Each structure stands twice: as structure tokens, then as C-alpha cells.
Chain A
Amino acid sequence: MAVLRTLLYLLVYPGILFLFFYSTFCEWFDRKVYARLQNRMGPTHTGRHGLLQPIADFVKLMAKEDIVPEAADKRLFALLPVFGLAIVSTAGLLLPVWNFDLATPGMTSFPGDIIVILYLLSLPTLILFLAAWSSTNLFSTIGGSRVLTMLFGYEVPLFLSVLSPAILADSWRLAEIAAFYQKKPLLILPNLLGFVIAVISVQAKLERTPFDIPHAETEIVGGTFTEYSGKKLGLFRLMMDIELVVASALLATVFLGGFPGGVFVGFAHLLVKTLFVIFLLALIRALTSRIRIDQVLTLAWKYLAPLAVLQLLVVILLKGFLK
């Protein structure tokens, strides 16, 4: 039974199958919202309403010619997409989707899992940097240095803002944090500022407009991905999609009260809440223009980080007041 449960966890829900199909659906949703906001149709041809388009793109990339540059570190170059995919899928396993009863927690729920999931979500950035560096292309190198520079900007505000609801809930475990806010939904409101900061930081982490600086196509061609093609590019794109799902589900857990109510209702909660976060991300993507790398750091350290500290302060004071 335990083996079956582990297999279910790893392979089906919230393992690789769920992550694959749900992330492609989320990419479709993101593309569709983005397109409608731009007065376009978005994907329409493949599948009903173009639902299968991301999967078709993935299959197409898998079948494409795979070129590795002569000067690249070939082993590292080939391994990085797989590592990246493994890391974000592991992060997906930590989502508290089976924890309906705190007395019998899921097997991947443990005190401190919020730290682990944040850590696992930071790693793809390093993977991208290594990928850029190992492809030795000039544009990739610039992209890689931009990836790292941006990391110094958004990582601190993201951590601070995600940790403030945890402090209010007095727990480092995702399932417990979610349960706390399910019990007291009104306490979600004081964390609203943190939610906004976290959404902006996640946008930066996922390198989407206005933070698509590391692969700004009009400046540095493909940036980090310039030399990647075929299967490896496909895996990287899947990695970014899964990261989108995991990051938005993390925000949904921490800020929006998680996924309560049994298998089916919980699943519905997951869908609605992650799609809501992704909708916000798509909105930001459509409404802004790409900013410069120095402007990202200014934004992060002048506005986001102080506001995140303010959020922490509010939460700490509120906690004292509630006691």
C-alpha cells in the first residue's frame, strides 16, 4: 500500500503526469489570456480551443534537431535541462495537495517544507545561469550574468513576503499554514501586501515581462537559451511551465488558504486558485514593457524589499495583538 501510495505521489498526483498535463494547460491558459488582452485569438487550432497546442509544441521540439555548440561543456550542457526539470518536479511534490487532515499528514509534508520548496524554486535560476555559461555564446553569457543579477533583486523580497504568513500562522509547514488560514480566513487580508510583492517577485523568477531581461529577444537574441534547441529547449520550456505551476500553487497555499475539502473539492481549489494567480501573472505580462536590469534592482531594493519588511512588521505586531 505504501509503495502504491508513493508511486501515486511520484507519478500521478502531484507527480510528473499531473505536473506535465497541468503545466501545459496553464501555459495554454496564460497564452490565451495574454492573447485576449492583446486583442488576438491565441492558440486555436490544435485540440478544442487550441488546448493541445503546448503539448504539440513540446512534441515538436522533442522531434527537432538537437545542436550542441563545439565550444560548449557538452556533458553539463546536456544534463542541465534534465536537472532543472527534476528540481522543479521535486518542488511540486512538496505541495500539500493530499493533506486534508493534519493528524495524518502526507508523506512529503514535514516542518520546514516551506524552506525546502523555496530552496528548490531558487535552484532553476542557477541552472539557467550554468546553462548560459556552459553554452559559451556571447549572448548567452550576457543573459547568464543578467539571470544572476536579477536573482539578487527578487529573491529577498520573495522570501520575506512568503515567510510573513508563515510567521502569522506560527508554522514552517505548508499544510499547517494552509489549515491556519482555512480556519481564520479573515487573516488572509493582512497579508495582501505580501501577496502583491510575492506575485511581482514570482513574475521576476519566471522571467516573464517586465522581467524577461535574461532572454530579451530584441537585445540579446535568445539570451540564456540562445544555443539550446530541440529536446533540451523542450525540457527547459517544460521546466519553466512546471515552475509556473509550482510557484503559483505555493502562493495559493501560503496566501489563499491552500486546497481544503477532500480529493475533488481540493483539486477544484487547486485549479481555481492557481489559475487566479496565473491570471494575475498574465495581466502583469500584458500590461507592462520590459524594464532594464538596473531598474529591476532599483525596484526590488527600493520598493519591494522595504515593503516586504513592512509586511513582516505588520504581521509581528498583529501576532502580538492577537495573543
Chain B
Amino acid sequence: MKFQIPIGPQHPALKEPISLRMTVEGEVIRDADIRLGYNHRGVEKLAEEKNWVQNIYLTERICGICSHSHSTCYVQGVEKLMEITPPRRGLYLRYLVSELERVHSHLLWLGVAGHEAGFDSFFMYTWRDREIVMDLLEMISGNRVHYAMNCLGGVRRDIDEAQKAKILEGVATLRKRSEYYFRIGASEPSFVARIAGVGLLSKELAVKLCAVGPTARASSITRDVRKEDPCAVYDELDFAVGTADSCDVLGRVVVRVQELLESYKLIEQMIHKLPDGDIAVKAPRKAKAGEVVSRYEAPRGENLHYIKSNGTDKPERLKVRAPTLANYPATVEMLRNGFIADIPLIFAAIDPCICCAERTVTLVNFRSGEETIVPLSDLRRQAAERRTNAPAKRNAVWPF
């Protein structure tokens, strides 16, 4: 008996609204259909209305977990357009926060993976230790979620010796704990039984479907923007790209824990090598006309910002390709022929950030069930047409 079960838009496994329609036969998934558009906010359009500086804080709000990733990606691009180079110390601090954010994101993900598999103890422990890195981020930037560290031409806050010592201390604790979680995540029998061999994505398929980040690296594709395109500080630091060849959810757990350990290494190196000097240079108000593509390795994978400038103090176009969006096609393939019980695990394994990836709205005609995908530009055109063609508004008439 085939029937369709709706996972979302509201479902306990999902932290954000998205609709996964699963066609199942008994407990086996035969087909999966991902529907987006429940969380569309029009950030890209809004960016065109704001100036270069205001947009730093807007891009930061694209995502609550990888907030620093989006703002760094944006700032990198704009700095290229403005032809300014931040001072070394500023860059080191910027990417120090990046790595701390990666640590916080991966610890959060480990907990979510545990929770989706019904392993709540794992969830409680990883989230407890995530507080350590959250506290470090708060100490550095003053905020827990939207750090607001970036500015055009550097960073906004400096750190002192006492803070350095605290970061090193926190990282040492976290390293010990992460090694313990690695042992649990990769060897606890009931947990491994749930994640090994689940959500298979072969290397060929991962390449074909353009998977990014830990999802691709778990299918033994060594891709990492930090290594391939070593911007700013990463070419001066020693780290390895973690990969796994099991192509399943277990591999994705392993890759993320390896990345945690590499991030600790990076953080320690950055603290030790932190150069003296200024943390920022002054940025011009306007950027030169031109376009730029900025790449950044977010915790979830390659983040891409396309920025077009027309020489004014506002961008003409900002296009964000968040890593989650790149992983959706692969997710559909991973879900096929899995069990219902695997849906939350497979879906969570790409570390989905739904609000990052909302670009279009699907309109479903309620009567005919006909579906149309409407890109933002069309939606805007339709709205404009409706406004111009609309009958003139009647003024309210006094009834007596």
C-alpha cells in the first residue's frame, strides 16, 4: 500500500518549516519531494535597499547558526570590490571567530543528530559543552548568536592576553570532550546501528548533484574552500581536511568530529600566531562598479555570495547560495529507498538551514491543485501589476 506522509511544514523533527512529502510503502520510502518557500523573507531584495555597511548586519541575519559565515562571505566580496585589504590582525580575529563558530555549529549538529536518533543523552552532553564555545564567542564579541564582529576592512573588536588564555583553556577542555564524543558517536552500538549504511550517497552521485561541505566530504570528496582557495590566513596555518569514505550518516558524523578537532588546532595556531597591529582599516563609502563572487567554507559547506556593484553606496544585486541549497538534490537521492525511521537522520545529516536557502515561493492553486514556481522577480512584477491594474481605492464613505 503506497501512501504519502507529510513531514512538515510543522513536524517535531524540523526546527524550521519545510515540507518533505514522502511516498512510502509500509516503512520504506519510495519517493521524496522537497517543498520550499515557507520561510521566504526577501533578504536579497532588502539588500538592494541598504548600503554596504548596513548589509553586513543584514547578511548576518540570514542564518542564526552560521551568522558569521554569511557576513564574512559578504565582507570578503565587498572588500575585493572596494580594493581594500584588512590588516593581518583583523583577518586573524575574523577567522578566529569563524573557527569558533564552526565548533559551535558542529557541536550543535552532533546534539541534533543524537536527538533525531532518539539518543537524548548525547544531545544533552554536546549541548552542555557547546555552552563553553558560546561563552567564548560572547566574551570576544559581546553576543552569543549574531556576533557582529565584521566590518568593512577588518573587525570591530580586539582581544587581549587574558581573553587569549581563556580561549586556549576552553579549547583544551573542548578537545578532550570532543574526543570522547567521537568514541561514543562512532562506537555506541545502538547509535551506530542507526546511522551506519543509512542515507548512502556514492562519490559519483555526490559530484553529479554538487553536494558540498561535510556531506560531500563524507563521500570521500576532498573539497574545502579553506584548502582550495586559501583566502587570507588559511594558507599560513596547518590543518587537514577531514574525509570519510563510508558515504553514509556515520561518515558525516565522523567528518564533523574530525573538523571539530582540526578547528581546535586552527584556533590554537591563530592565537599563538596573532600578529600585532591595527584590527581594521577605514573603508570608502562607495564601491567601484563591478561584480565579485565570494566563497567561504561555512560549517555546512561552501557558502557563495555574488555581489554586483554599480558604483553607488548600495549593491545592485546580492545573491546568496547557502550550502543547504546545494545539498537538497543530494538529500532526495539519499532518502530514496530508506526507512521512515531514517528520514530525520538523513535530513538532519546535511545540517539543513532552511531559512538560508529560501529563494522562491511555490504557489498552489487551492481548487485545481496546480503548482507554479514563482521566482522573486516574477512575484515582484505580479505585485507591481496588481498595484497598477487595481481598481482605484474607494474612500470610505460616511454612511449617513
Q: Report the minimum CB–CB distance from B100 to chain A (whole Å).
A: 23
Contact B125 A39 (CB under 8 A): yes
Which B residues between 337 and 378 are near A, CB-CB below 8 angstroms? 339-344
Within 8 A of B (CB), among A205-244: 209-210, 212-213, 216-221
What's the count of A-B pairs with C-beta under 8 Å? 79
A290 partner residues in chain B, CB cutoff 8 A? 117-119, 190, 194, 341
| Chain A residues in the interface with B (C-beta under 8 A) | 37-40, 138-139, 142, 209-210, 212-213, 216-221, 286-295
Q: Determine the distance from Cα of A213 to Cα of B191 in the docked complex, in whole angstroms.
A: 14
Contact of A289 with B11 in the complex, beta carbons under 8 Å: no
What chain A residues lie within 8 Å of B193 (beta carbons)? Answer: 291-292, 295
Question: Are A286 and B340 in contact (CB-based, < 8 A)?
Answer: no
Interface residue B121 (Cβ < 8 Å from any Cβ of A): yes
Which B residues are CB-close (under 8 A) to A213?
341
Among A39, A210, A289, A292, contact of B114 (Cβ-Cβ < 8 Å) = A289
Cβ–Cβ < 8 Å partners of A287 in chain B: 121, 188
- A289 is contacted by which of B13, B194, B339, B343 (Cβ under 8 Å)? B194
Query: Is A142 a contact of B119 with CB atoms below 8 Å?
Result: no
- List B contacts of A291 (CB < 8 A): 190, 193-194
- Confirm or deny: B122 has a beta carbon within 8 angstroms of a beta carbon on chain A: yes
Q: Kindly provide the distance from the CB of A214 to the nearest chain B CB, expressed in whole angstroms.
A: 11
Known: A218-B12, A218-B116, A295-B193. A39 touches B341 (CB 8 A): no
CA distance A213 to B193 in the complex (A): 14
- Is there an interface contact between A210 and B341, defined as CB atoms closer than 8 Å? no
Which B residues are closer than 8 A to A by beta carbons?
3, 5-6, 11-13, 27, 114-122, 124-125, 128, 188, 190-191, 193-194, 339-344
Distance from A295 Cβ to chain B, minimum over Cβ atoms (Å): 6
Q: Which of A37, A286, A292 contacts B341 (CB 8 A)?
A: A292
Q: How far is the CA of A28 from the CA of B339 in the complex (A)?
A: 34
Given A39-B124, A40-B124, A221-B11, verify A292-B119 contact (CB < 8 Å): no
A219 touches B343 (CB 8 A): yes
Known: A138-B3, A218-B12. A209 touches B120 (CB 8 A): yes
Which residue of chain B is the closest to A142 with respect to CB atoms? B340
B120 touches A139 (CB 8 A): no
Q: B340, A219: Cβ atoms under 8 Å?
A: yes
Q: List 22 A-B contacts (CB under 8 A).
A: A37-B121, A40-B124, A138-B3, A139-B5, A209-B118, A210-B190, A218-B13, A218-B118, A219-B13, A219-B340, A220-B5, A220-B340, A286-B120, A287-B188, A288-B191, A289-B118, A289-B190, A290-B194, A291-B190, A291-B193, A292-B193, A294-B27
Q: Pick the contact of A293 from B118, B341, B343 — CB < 8 Å?
A: B341
- Residues of chain B contacted by A219 (CB below 8 angstroms): 13, 340-341, 343-344
B-chain residues with CB within 8 Å of residue A209 when the two chains form the complex: 118-120
User: Using Cβ atoms and an 8 Å threshold, which residues of chain A touch B116?
Assistant: 218
Beta-carbon nearest neighbor of B195 in chain A: A289
B3 touches A39 (CB 8 A): no
Question: What are the 10 tightest A-B residue pairs by CB atom distance, in nearest-first order?
Answer: A290-B118, A289-B119, A218-B13, A38-B124, A289-B191, A218-B344, A288-B190, A289-B117, A217-B12, A292-B341
Q: How far is the CA of A279 from the CA of B344 in the complex (A)?
A: 30
Question: A289 near B5 (CB under 8 angstroms)?
Answer: no
